[in-house]
Amino acid sequence: MLKLSERLYALRKSRALKQETAAKLCDISMMSYRRYETGEREPTASVLWRMADVFEVSVDYLIGRTDDKI
């Protein structure tokens, strides 16, 4: 899921958040968040939903199925 890692990074940077802060907002560990952002791991569906809620985008946008954020 290369799109996911790219989009997580871009969304986090656009909000001037540190990885640690983004992880806390998503209610996951910093290490897990870092691995998702670098593409080392793929999140579960429940984590994807939380990320989408935190960044105010759709899950489809996060995973690259659409370029529409909502």
Q: What is the pLDDT of residues 19-31, one digit of tens each?
A: 999 999 999 999 9
* Number of independent structural domains in the chain: 1
User: 1 pLDDT exceeds 60?
Assistant: no
Is residue 18 in a domain?
Answer: yes
Is residue 70 in a domain?
Answer: no
Is residue 12 in a domain?
Answer: yes
Tokens of 34: 């870092």
User: 2 pLDDT exceeds 70?
Assistant: no
Q: How confident is the model at residue 70 (pLDDT cuts 50, 70, 90)?
A: confident
Range of the domain at 10: 2-63
In tens, the pLDDT along 22-62 reads 999 999 999 999 999 999 999 999 999 999 999 999 999 99
CA distance 12 to 20: 11
Q: Which of 70, 28, 34, 31 is nearest to 51 (CA)?
A: 28
CA distance 18 to 33: 11
Is residue 68 in a domain?
Answer: no
**CATH number of the domain bearing residue 45:** 1.10.260.40
Residue 49, CA distances (Å) to 32, 46 in order: 15, 5
